[in-house]
C-alpha cells in the first residue's frame, strides 16, 4: 500500500493558516449557547493555557495589577489610548503604543478587568483591538473578581513583553461617529444603546458633560445589568430577552455610547458575542455629543426629583451635591405598616397609615377616599417635622421591593398638601445597600413643626392633584373631553378578572373598570407589579419605556390624566412617572375602583366595563 504524502508547500500553508490558533487550543467558551461563544472564555481554560506561545493575557484594570494578577499577564490601561470626548488616538499613536507594549495583530488575546469597578475596561481594549484588525480577541468570563474568588493562581511580577511591530488594519465600521448617529437617528433599522446609569440617562450631569440627558431615541440598558452576582456575564437567554424586548434585534445596525466610550465598548462586545453583524461603539460618546450644541438631547423635565444613592450619601456627609435642597431637609423611610430594621442613617420613618386610613379601614367610610381629612392630615404632617418649605427625600425601606408604592403613596399625599420640594431615592434601600453604604436599625427622632406654613383655609395647597368621585363621574359623562382615566392595574383586573384584595382584608369584589379607562399597565400579578420597575436592580423603569407603552393607549402629555387602581396606591406610581416627565395635568383618584364600585353614594348606579377594548 502506497503511503500518501502531503506536498511540503501545502503543509507549510496549513501550518501558517492554523498557527495563530494553536496557542489557544485550550481556550474554551464559558457559555456555549452564545452565537459567538468563543469570544467569552472560561477561567479554567485560561488557567490551562497559561504559558502558551502567542497567548497574551491583558489585565485591563486601572489599579491592582502591581499587587496581584493572573500569571504572565501584562497591564494595559485604556486611558493611555484615547482622549475623553474625542475618542481613540490617531492610528499612528496607537500603532506605536501597542508595539511598545509588545503586541502584534496576529496574537491571541485574553482580556480581563474587575467588571463592575472597571466600568467596561476589558470591553474597551477588546473593541480597540478588533477595530484595529485583530481577529483573535477574547474576554475572561467573571474577570478578576471570579478568578480571585475561586482561588486561582496569582502573581505580583510585573510582566513586560519585548517591543514589537503592530500593523493596524482598521475596520472603520466598528467605530461610530456623531455624524453617522445624527444621520441615522429614528430610522427603522438602527438602534443606539445608552449604557449609563438611570441618573445620567434622565438628566443628572455627573462627569463634566456639557448638557445632561441622553441622545433622543436611545434605548437605556445600564452596564451593571450585564453581570450575575459572581460577575460572570448573564446567560444568553437573559441577554436575548433584555435586548430583543427593547427592539434591539440582530437584523438591525447597533451601536452604543456612555460617557466616554468605556461601558459602551462592553456593549459592543456583547453585540459581537450575541452574533450582531453590524455593531459599533461610539467611543467619543456623550462628552462629545453634549458639547456640540447643534445636536439634540432629551431629559426628564423633573429629573432632579428622582435622586440616587451617592447624592443622598454626599448630602448626609455635608458634601456639595447638584440640585441641592434650598434649605432644611428630611430623609424619610416608608413602608405600608409595622416597623423596619434597615434604614439609612439619619432617616425618620413614615408609615402610610399616617397619611391615610389604616389598611383595615381603607375605603370603608362612604365616599371618603383614603386620605385623612385635610385638618387631620395637616397635623400629622406637622408631627413628621415637615412644612411646605421642607425638602423631603423619601425611599422604600423594603430591600428588593418590586414597586415603591408605599413611597409614592406618601409622596402624593405630601404633594397634595403642598410640600414644595419632594424627592424619591431611586431603588430605595436596595440601591443604598448595593452601593455598600452603612445602614442603621434605629430611626431618627422627629422634630415636629408648629405649623405647615399655610394661612387659614389654605390647606391643601395643591388640591388639583386629587380627583374626586364627582369629578370622575363628569369625565365618564363626557364633560371634560381632554381628560382621560388611566387604569394602573394588571391586565387581568382591567378586563374584568379577579383581584387579590381579599388577601389584605379589603372587600373589593366588583370586577371590571371605570368606563372609558385606558390601560396604564401593571405587572402580571395584581398587587405586585413589574411594568414600572426593573427587577434586576429594583430601580424605576426608564421613563421613556413607560411613555412608549402609554402612547399605545392614547395616554399622552396633552391630556388631563386621572390615575386610579384598586384603592389609590398603585395609581400614585403612575402619577409619579407623569410628574417626572413634567406632564402638566395629573390627578390621583384616591378612592379608586373600590370607591367607584362600592363605597361612593352613587356606586350602585356606576357602570363598569369589561373585556378587551382593542378587540371587542
Boundary of a domain, candidates 401, 434, 462: 462
pLDDT for residue 24: 54
The rounded distance, in Å, linking the Cα atoms of 531 and 462 is 28
Burial 346-368 (b: 16+ CB within 10 A, else e): ebbbbbbbbbbbebeebbeeeeb
On whether residue 189 sits in a domain, the answer given is yes
Do 441 and 538 belong together in one domain? no
Tell me: pLDDT of 172 over 90.
Answer: yes
Boundary of a domain, candidates 411, 427, 462: 462
Question: How much of the chain, in percent, has pLDDT values that exceed 70?
Answer: 93
Instruction: Give the count of domains, the chain.
Output: 4
363-376 mean pLDDT: 73
pLDDT for residue 365: 55
Phi, psi (degrees; rounded to nearest 5) at 380? -65, -40
Tell me: pLDDT of 12 over 50.
Answer: no
351-361 mean pLDDT: 79
- Report the relative pairing of strands 539-540 and 466-467 from DSSP bridges: unpaired
Do 212 and 236 belong together in one domain? yes
Q: Which domain holds residue 390?
A: 303-462
Do 59 and 116 belong together in one domain? yes
On whether residue 10 sits in a domain, the answer given is no
Tell me: pLDDT of 13 over 60.
Answer: no
Tell me: pLDDT of 505 over 90.
Answer: no
Do 430 and 484 belong together in one domain? no
On whether residue 235 sits in a domain, the answer given is yes
More confident residue, 457 or 32: 32
On whether residue 74 sits in a domain, the answer given is yes
> In terms of C-beta density within 10 A (0-12 exposed, 13-18 middle, 19 or more buried), how is residue 342 classed?
middle
Do 54 and 158 belong together in one domain? yes
CATH of residue 595's domain is 3.40.250.10
More confident residue, 16 or 357: 357
Do 436 and 457 belong together in one domain? yes
Mean per-residue pLDDT over the chain, rounded: 92
Residues 6+ apart with CB under 8 A from 438: 345
On whether residue 541 sits in a domain, the answer given is yes
Q: What does the block give as the cell for 162?
A: 519585548
Question: How much of the chain, in percent, has pLDDT values that exceed 90?
Answer: 85
Q: What is the pLDDT of residues 398-452, one digit of tens each?
A: 998 878 999 999 999 999 999 999 999 999 999 999 999 999 999 999 999 999 9
Do 146 and 111 belong together in one domain? yes
Do 370 and 472 belong together in one domain? no
The closest alpha carbon to 312, from 338, 352, 344, belongs to 344
The rounded distance, in Å, linking the Cα atoms of 585 and 7 is 82
For 441-502, what is the HEC assignment?
CCCCCCCCCCCCCCCCCCCCCCHHHEECHHHHHHHHCCCCCCEEEEECCCHHHHHCCCCCHH
Do 444 and 404 belong together in one domain? yes
Dihedral of the alpha carbons of 492, 494, 495, 501, in degrees to the nearest 10: 50
Tell me: pLDDT of 177 over 70.
Answer: yes
Q: What is the pLDDT of residues 227-261, one digit of tens each?
A: 999 999 999 999 999 999 999 999 999 999 999 99
The rounded distance, in Å, linking the Cα atoms of 550 and 578 is 10
Do 477 and 591 belong together in one domain? yes
Q: What does the block give as the cell for 102?
A: 509588545
Strand partners, 486: 518, 563
From 15-24, 344-353, 568-577, the region with the lowest mean pLDDT: 15-24
- Using 50, 70 and 90 to split pLDDT, how confident is the model at 536? confident
**Interior CA angle at 46 toward 41 and 49, to 5°?**
130
- Using 50, 70 and 90 to split pLDDT, how confident is the model at 615? confident
348-372 mean pLDDT: 74
Boundary of a domain, candidates 173, 196, 231: 173
Tell me: pLDDT of 616 over 80.
Answer: no
Do 108 and 228 belong together in one domain? no
> In terms of C-beta density within 10 A (0-12 exposed, 13-18 middle, 19 or more buried), how is residue 318 classed?
exposed
375-392 mean pLDDT: 97
pLDDT for residue 337: 63
pLDDT for residue 561: 98
583-609 mean pLDDT: 95
On whether residue 612 sits in a domain, the answer given is no
The closest alpha carbon to 308, from 401, 396, 199, 209, belongs to 199
What does pTM read for this prediction? Answer: 0.92
On whether residue 535 sits in a domain, the answer given is yes
On whether residue 616 sits in a domain, the answer given is no
DSSP category for residue 220: E
Tell me: pLDDT of 134 over 50.
Answer: yes
The rounded distance, in Å, linking the Cα atoms of 445 and 335 is 17
pLDDT for residue 48: 97
More confident residue, 413 or 528: 413
The rounded distance, in Å, linking the Cα atoms of 75 and 66 is 9
159-173 mean pLDDT: 97
Q: What is the pLDDT of residues 25-70, one digit of tens each?
A: 589 999 999 999 999 999 999 999 999 999 999 999 999 999 999 9
**Interior CA angle at 460 toward 427 and 302, to 5°?**
35
Do 110 and 183 belong together in one domain? no
- Using 50, 70 and 90 to split pLDDT, how confident is the model at 297? very high
Phi, psi (degrees; rounded to nearest 5) at 159? -100, 130
Tell me: pLDDT of 19 over 60.
Answer: no
> In terms of C-beta density within 10 A (0-12 exposed, 13-18 middle, 19 or more buried), how is residue 241 classed?
exposed
Amino acid at each position: 500500500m502506497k503511503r500518501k504524502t502531503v506536498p511540503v508547500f501545502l503543509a507549510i500553508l496549513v501550518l501558517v493558516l492554523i498557527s495563530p490558533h494553536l496557542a489557544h487550543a485550550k481556550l474554551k467558551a464559558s457559555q456555549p449557547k452564545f452565537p459567538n461563544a468563543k469570544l467569552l472564555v472560561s477561567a479554567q481554560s485560561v488557567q490551562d493555557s497559561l504559558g502558551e506561545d502567542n497567548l497574551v493575557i491583558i489585565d485591563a484594570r486601572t489599579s491592582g495589577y502591581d499587587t496581584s494578577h493572573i500569571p504572565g499577564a501584562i497591564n494595559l490601561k485604556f486611558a493611555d489610548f484615547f482622549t475623553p470626548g474625542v475618542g481613540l488616538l490617531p492610528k499612528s499613536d496607537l500603532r506605536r503604543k501597542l508595539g511598545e507594549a509588545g503586541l502584534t495583530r496576529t496574537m491571541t488575546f485574553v482580556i480581563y478587568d474587575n467588571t463592575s469597578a472597571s466600568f467596561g475596561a476589558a470591553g474597551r481594549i477588546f473593541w480597540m483591538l478588533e477595530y484595529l484588525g485583530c481577529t483573535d480577541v477574547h474576554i475572561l468570563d467573571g474577570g478578576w473578581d471570579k478568578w480571585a474568588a475561586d482561588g486561582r493562581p496569582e502573581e505580583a511580577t510585573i510582566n513586560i513583553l519585548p517591543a514589537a511591530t503592530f500593523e493596524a488594519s482598521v475596520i472603520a465600521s466598528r467605530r461610530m461617529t456623531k455624524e453617522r448617529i445624527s444621520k441615522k437617528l429614528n430610522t427603522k433599522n438602527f438602534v443606539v444603546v445608552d449604557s449609563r446609569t438611570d441618573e445620567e440617562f434622565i438628566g443628572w450631569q455627573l462627569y463634566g458633560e456639557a448638557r445632561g440627558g441622553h441622545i433622543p431615541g436611545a434605548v437605556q440598558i445600564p452596564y451593571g445589568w450585564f453581570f450575575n452576582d459572581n460577575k460572570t456575564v448573564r446567560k444568553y437567554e437573559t441577554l436575548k430577552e433584555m435586548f430583543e424586548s427593547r427592539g434591539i434585534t440582530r437584523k438591525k445596525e447597533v451601536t452604543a455610547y456612555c460617557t466616554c466610550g468605556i461601558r459602551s465598548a462592553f456593549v459592543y462586545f456583547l453585540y459581537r458575542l450575541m452574533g450582531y453583524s453590524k455593531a459599533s461603539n461610539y467611543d467619543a460618546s456623550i462628552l462629545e455629543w453634549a458639547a456640540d450644541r447643534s445636536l439634540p438631547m432629551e431629559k426628564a423635565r423633573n429629573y432632579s426629583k428622582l435622586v440616587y444613592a451617592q447624592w443622598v450619601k454626599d448630602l448626609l456627609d455635608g458634601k456639595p451635591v447638584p440640585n441641592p435642597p434650598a434649605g432644611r431637609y428630611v430623609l424619610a423611610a416608608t413602608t405600608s405598616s409595622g416597623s423596619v430594621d434597615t434604614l439609612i442613617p439619619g432617616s425618620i420613618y413614615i408609615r402610610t397609615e399616617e397619611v391615610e386610613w389604616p389598611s383595615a379601614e381603607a375605603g370603608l367610610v362612604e365616599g371618603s377616599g383614603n386620605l385623612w381629612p385635610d385638618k387631620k392630615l395637616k397635623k400629622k404632617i406637622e408631627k413628621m417635622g415637615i412644612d411646605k418649605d421642607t425638602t423631603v427625600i423619601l425611599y422604600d425601606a423594603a430591600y428588593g421591593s418590586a414597586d415603591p408604592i408605599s413611597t409614592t403613596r406618601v409622596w402624593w399625599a405630601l404633594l397634595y398638601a403642598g410640600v414644595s420640594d419632594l424627592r424619591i431615592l431611586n431603588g430605595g434601600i436596595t440601591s443604598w445597600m448595593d452601593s455598600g453604604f452603612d445602614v442603621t436599625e434605629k430611626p431618627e427622632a422627629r422634630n415636629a413643626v408648629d405649623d405647615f406654613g399655610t394661612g387659614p383655609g389654605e390647606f391643601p395647597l395643591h388640591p388639583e392633584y386629587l380627583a374626586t368621585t364627582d369629578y370622575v363621574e363628569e369625565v365618564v359623562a363626557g364633560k371634560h373631553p381632554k381628560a382621560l382615566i388611566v387604569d394602573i392595574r394588571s391586565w387581568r383586573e382591567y378586563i374584568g378578572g379577579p383581584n387579590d384584595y381579599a388577601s389584605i382584608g379589603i372587600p373589593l369584589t366588583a370586577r371590571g373598570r371605570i368606563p372609558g379607562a385606558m390601560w396604564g399597565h401593571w405587572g402580571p400579578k395584581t398587587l405586585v407589579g413589574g411594568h414600572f420597575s426593573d427587577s434586576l436592580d429594583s430601580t424605576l423603569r426608564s421613563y421613556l419605556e413607560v411613555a412608549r407603552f402609554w402612547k399605545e393607549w392614547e395616554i399622552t402629555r396633552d391630556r388631563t390624566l386621572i390615575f386610579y387602581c384598586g384603592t389609590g396606591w398603585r395609581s400614585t406610581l403612575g402619577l409619579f412617572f407623569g410628574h417626572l416627565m413634567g406632564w402638566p395635568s395629573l390627578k390621583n383618584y384616591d378612592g379608586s375602583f373600590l370607591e367607584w364600585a362600592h363605597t361612593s353614594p352613587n356606586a350602585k348606579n356606576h357602570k363598569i366595563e369589561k373585556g378587551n377594548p382593542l378587540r371587542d
